[in-house]
Structure 1
């Protein structure tokens, strides 16, 4: 049965999309096709609730379900233009999968090993604050010779610094930063430069000082 047939069969018309999602995700009758149905519903009317519920149940996924799940995330990340689905996927990655030590490595490798296009790699980098620095640094090195990737590498360094759970190696970050060819010295650029060259570790007082200095960053 397709999604519309299931909604009709189970008398789910009139229910919120999140309620419909919960039924699809938890009713055993649909276990073999639940992820396909859930993503179909998500693409129709996306909410973070749907992605978070899948994250909460991720450890129970079969290997085939995990492959399917990450193929959906990867496909959205490769899209040229931003949209509501993509923005929620990025939020889910940063807050749930990258921010959880139990899923961080698997989420990262499951995406990177798909050989995604540059649109996807840029987005992954820009939302990779909580990811272990040793994973990110491999991607930095791979793309440092491509100037069109430098802005995303800079943003990755920035989010690694400001994210509460952000992971960064100051010595390696300096070596990466000096190789970036960025013409416009934005506040993000100046913040990263001043932070990594004045401190050797994430420093609360230093952070407060710089975030106050670069006022516009407070609203990001």
Structure 2
């Protein structure tokens, strides 16, 4: 069943796609796989973060295979040439899955797994700030040999330090950062390099901001 058939079957012609996704997840006549396929059919037409958020609400109720189906869709959009779809998927990974300690390890491991597509891996690194640093570090070690990946590693380090829920190993970051073959005059490089030298921990940095209105 595709979205047009579902809309016709349920007479949902006047509802927007986000509302329909909410309705179909309460539809006991559909399997979870059917719900996932339909949800992404609607997302294809309406790339809204709200649809991703709706899916995240049911993530814990899915089987391992069903979770993999959802994440396979995410990887598909990470690799796509559809900027708005990719933007919403990356935001969802960042706030729904990577910032949540209940889902971050499972989601990261599933997405990385045996993935050999470095384009996907770079996209994941760009929103990986909240992921436990040791997990990111394993990926850095795999990708750092190719300088094409260095900008994504920088983005990951920046998120690891500056994201509210970012996770960083200051010592390792100080080792990795100077080895990256990137534009070292860029604002993000200079800012991160300065903070790594100025502070002994991320907590010390955040404490320094108290009362500054930042």
- When the two structures are superposed, what TM-score results if normalisation uses the length of structure 2? 0.92
Q: Distance in 2 between matches of 1:151 and 1:19?
A: 38
Unaligned runs of 5+ in 2: none
Pairwise CA distance, 1:63: 2.0
Tell me the residue number matched to 2:206.
204
Give the distance between the partners of 2:90 and 2:150, measured in 1 at CA.
Answer: 19
1:30 positional shift? 1.3
8 Å contact kept, 1:140–1:153: yes
Residue 193 of structure 1 corresponds to 193
* Separation of aligned partners in 2, 1:5 and 1:82: 25
Instruction: Report runs of 4+ in structure 1 exceeding 3 Å deviation.
Output: 205-208
In the alignment, the residues of structure 2 paired with residue 150 and residue 207 of structure 1 have an alpha-carbon distance, to the nearest angstrom, of 29
**1:110 is the counterpart of 2:110:** yes
SS at match of 1:29: coil
Q: Is the 8 A contact 1:78 1:116 kept in 2?
A: no
Q: Distance in 1 between matches of 2:168 and 2:88?
A: 25
Partner of 2:95: 95
After superposition, the Cα gap between the structure-2 partners of 1:74 and 1:30, relative to the gap in structure 1 and judged at 3 Å, is same
**Residue aligning to 1:215:** none
Q: Does 1:29 align with 2:29?
A: yes
User: Shift in Å at residue 114 of structure 1?
Assistant: 4.2
* Paired position in structure 2 for 1:144: 144
How far is the alpha carbon of 1:123 from its aligned partner?
1.1
1:179-212 Cα shifts (integer Å, max 9, x gaps): 111234101000111111221101225568xx99
Structure 1 residues 93-141: Cα deviation after superposition (integer angstroms, max 9, x where no partner): 0001000000000110111014141221111111001110000011111
Contact 2:75–2:111 (Cα < 8 Å) also in 1: yes
Question: Residue 90 of structure 1: CA displacement?
Answer: 0.2
Q: 1:82 to 1:39 in 2, by over 3 A?
A: closer
C-alpha contact 2:2 2:41 (8 A) present in aligned 1: no
The CA RMSD measured in Å over matched residues stands at 1.8
